[in-house]
Structure 1
Amino acid sequence: MSTLDERGLRVPGAVIELARTLQDAGFPTWCVGGAVRDALLGRALLDFDLATAATPAQVRRLFRRTIPVGIEFGTVGVLDRDGRMHEVTTFRHDVKTDGRHAVVEFGASLDEDLARRDFTINAIAFDPIARRLHDPFRGREDLLAGVVRAVGVAEERMREDRLRALRAIRFASRFGFEIERETWVAIEASAAHLTRLSPERVKQEIDKTLEQVDAPSVAFARWRDAGAFAAVVPALAQVPDGTLAAIDRLPRAVTPTRPLRRTLRLATLFSSLEGKEATRALRALRASNQEISVVGALVDGWQRFGTALEAHLVAGSLPSDPALRRIAADVGRLRVNALLRLGAAHWAGDTRIAPRLVRQLFRRLTHIAFHDPIEIADLAIDGDDLRQHGLRAGPALGRVLQHLRHLVIEDPSRNQREILLALAGEWIARGDAAPTSGAERASGHE
Structure 2
Amino acid sequence: MTPLQVPALRPPGQVIEVARTLQNAGFEAWCVGGAVRDALLGLAHLDWDLATSATPPEVRRLFKRTVPVGIEFGTIGVLDRDGRMHEVTTFRHDVRTDGRHAEVEFGASLDEDLARRDFTINAIAYDPIARVLRDPFEGQADLQRGVVRAVGNADARMREDRLRALRAIRFAARFDFAIEEATWLAIVASAPFLTRLSPERVKQELDKTMEQVVRPSDALARWRESGAFASLVPTLADAPDSLLRAVDALPVPGLSTRPLRKPLRFAALFSGHDGKAAEQAMRALRFSNQDITTVSVLVDRYARFGASLGDQLASGSAPSGADLRRLAAAVGRLRVAAFLRLCAARWATDDRRVEPRTVRALYRQLLRIAFNEAIEVADLAVDGDDLRRAGIAAGPHLGQTLQRLLDAVIDDPACNTRETLLSLAAHPA
Sort the TM-score into its range (normalised by shorter chain).
over 0.9
Letter in 1 for 2:240: P
Whole-angstrom CA distance in 2 between matches of 1:77 and 1:358? 50
Q: 1:167: how far off?
A: 0.2
- Is the partner of 1:69 in helix, strand or coil? strand
Q: 1:49: how far off?
A: 0.5
Aligned ranges 1:238-277 → 2 under 5 Å: 238-254=238-254, 257-277=257-277
Whole-angstrom CA distance in 2 between matches of 1:50 and 1:134? 13
Q: 1:210: how far off?
A: 0.3
Aligned ranges 1:343-354 → 2 under 5 Å: 343-349=343-349, 350=351, 352-354=353-355
Aligned ranges 1:22-421 → 2 under 5 Å: 22-254=22-254, 257-349=257-349, 350=351, 352-421=353-422
Q: 1:256: how far off?
A: 7.3
Letter in 1 for 2:39: A
Asked whether the 8 Å contact 1:318–1:361 carries over to 2, the reply is no
- Is the partner of 2:382 in helix, strand or coil? coil
Please give the per-residue CA displacement for 1:257-301, whole angstroms capped at 9, x wherever unaligned. 333111111111111111110011111111101001110110001
Q: 1:21: how far off?
A: 1.1
Asked whether the 8 Å contact 1:188–1:226 carries over to 2, the reply is yes
Please give the per-residue CA displacement for 1:365-412, whole angstroms capped at 9, x wherever unaligned. 111111121110111111111111111211111111011111111111
Letter in 2 for 1:369: A
- Is the partner of 1:334 in helix, strand or coil? helix
Whole-angstrom CA distance in 2 between matches of 1:186 and 1:65? 42
Whole-angstrom CA distance in 2 between matches of 1:66 and 1:140? 32
Whole-angstrom CA distance in 2 between matches of 1:365 and 1:20? 60
Whole-angstrom CA distance in 1 between matches of 2:257 and 2:215? 20
Asked whether the 8 Å contact 1:278–1:299 carries over to 2, the reply is yes
Runs of at least 4 residues of structure 1 off by over 6 A? none
Whole-angstrom CA distance in 1 between matches of 2:199 and 2:284? 7
Asked whether the 8 Å contact 2:5–2:131 carries over to 1, the reply is no
Whole-angstrom CA distance in 2 between matches of 1:229 and 1:183? 18
Task: Give % identity.
Answer: 68
- Is the partner of 1:67 in helix, strand or coil? strand
Please give the per-residue CA displacement for 1:296-351, whole angstroms capped at 9, x wherever unaligned. 11000100001211111111122111111111101101101100001111222436
Whole-angstrom CA distance in 2 between matches of 1:55 and 1:375? 63
Runs of at least 5 residues in structure 2 that lack an aligned partner in the other structure: none
Letter in 1 for 2:360: R
Please give the per-residue CA displacement for 1:24-70, whole angstroms capped at 9, x wherever unaligned. 11111100000000000000123110000000011111111111111
Runs of at least 5 residues in structure 1 that lack an aligned partner in the other structure: 431-446
Whole-angstrom CA distance in 2 between matches of 1:365 and 1:16? 54
CA 1:49 to 1:250, structure 2 compared with 1: closer, same or farther past 3 Å?
same
Asked whether the 8 Å contact 2:5–2:132 carries over to 1, the reply is no
Whole-angstrom CA distance in 1 between matches of 2:186 and 2:304? 40
Letter in 1 for 2:172: A
Asked whether the 8 Å contact 2:311–2:352 carries over to 1, the reply is no
Letter in 2 for 1:9: L
Letter in 2 for 1:324: L
Letter in 2 for 1:282: M
Asked whether the 8 Å contact 1:34–1:46 carries over to 2, the reply is no
> Root-mean-square deviation (CA), in Å?
1.3
Q: 1:357: how far off?
A: 1.1
* TM-score normalised by L of structure 2: 0.97
Whole-angstrom CA distance in 2 between matches of 1:217 and 1:208? 13
Say how many residue pairs are matched.
425
Asked whether the 8 Å contact 2:19–2:30 carries over to 1, the reply is yes
Whole-angstrom CA distance in 2 between matches of 1:20 and 1:307? 61
- Is the partner of 1:401 in helix, strand or coil? helix
Asked whether the 8 Å contact 2:191–2:227 carries over to 1, the reply is yes
Letter in 2 for 1:422: S
